[in-house]
Amino acid sequence: MQQRPLGKSGLWVGRIGLGTMTWGRQTDEYEARDQLAAFLDVGGTLIDTADSYAKGVSEEMLGMLIQEFDCRADIVLATKAVQRPDTERRLDASRGHLVSALEASLKRLDVDHVDLWQLHRWDSWTPIEETLSAVDHALRSGKARYVGISNYSGWQTARACTLQETRGVAPFVTTQMEYSLLERGIEREIVPAAPSLGIGILPWSPLGRGVLTGKYRHSIPIDSRGGNPDTSGFVNAYNNERSHRIVDAVCTAAEGLDAAPGEVALAWLRDRPGVVAPIVGARTTQQLISALGSEELDLPTEIVTALDDISEPDAGYPEAGWAQRR
């Protein structure tokens, strides 16, 4: 697998990441083991989890498998903190919570440090300066080698990155955002800001919550997220006319290239400006193997242009138009 620098840092990662949000929920230990084996077999390195995934079970499963495969030196291990599901507050980026959360993640992962520690969401109840003091602690203690953010808006990204840069410890190197042919909203502010802020983009849900695989094109499979009452709302957000047009275009391109629709969607995203590595979170090993096939696919310019055009997001003042012309 080709390697890329992780933002403005000396750390390089494979250009497809393995997401583990389904581990401990839709993906059991045996399937997770097979996924990790397939990922490592193609030279994958970046593995992403979070303390809130399956209430910590995802981290526990990953930690167990890292020991079993004896692969700690071969991977770039990333996790996140801030979210507190099923609590009244839900988001907590206070120093007290973050320091404790990192310690708990390290224990579950059975490691002494993570390579990338990310702030999962912005917490409007906590001053950003306090949050950054916890980031400083993680870096100075060596429990996190690099730090990133996730799901921050444009102004939140700029403020956090700028403040952290002035603190003299280490800057944020990544932002993890939803990004796909069906969701290009980050191109309004995050993508243009990334180079100047020194952050690389790690897209989550790069297959449009599974819709870009084409499996929902004609019906909703019973065993899919879209067919599960607990997760159908997550998928149905892209059950609209615009999404259908984009999926049809992806499937047409895939037929012409003798590739899977998911491979086409990932290859398009992988080569977008600022993108380091799409994070692929598959329920099954077969889904992951199909996604990893995008590593061998280079899209012709005319197909890239066609997909750009049909999925182009709305943009206006002030992020586009006359105010931004040079």
Helix (H, G, I), strand (E, B) or coil at 5: strand
Is residue 152 annotated as a catalytic residue, yes or no?
no
- The answer to whether residues 50 and 79 touch, using CB atoms and an 8 Å cutoff, is yes
Please report, as a single letter, which amino acid is at residue 279: I
Backbone phi and psi for residue 104, each to the nearest 5 degrees, phi listed first: -65, -40
Please state the length of the chain: 326
CA gyration radius, the chain: 19
> Which of 30, 53, 216, 238 is an active site residue?
53
Angle at 294 between CA 291 and CA 297, to 5 degrees: 160
3-state SS, residue 48: strand
Q: What is the DSSP letter of 189?
A: T
Tell me how far apart the alpha carbons of residues 207 and 213 are, in angstroms, rounded to a whole number: 7
Q: How far apart are CA 58 and CA 88, in angstroms?
A: 23
Q: Return the active site residues.
A: 53
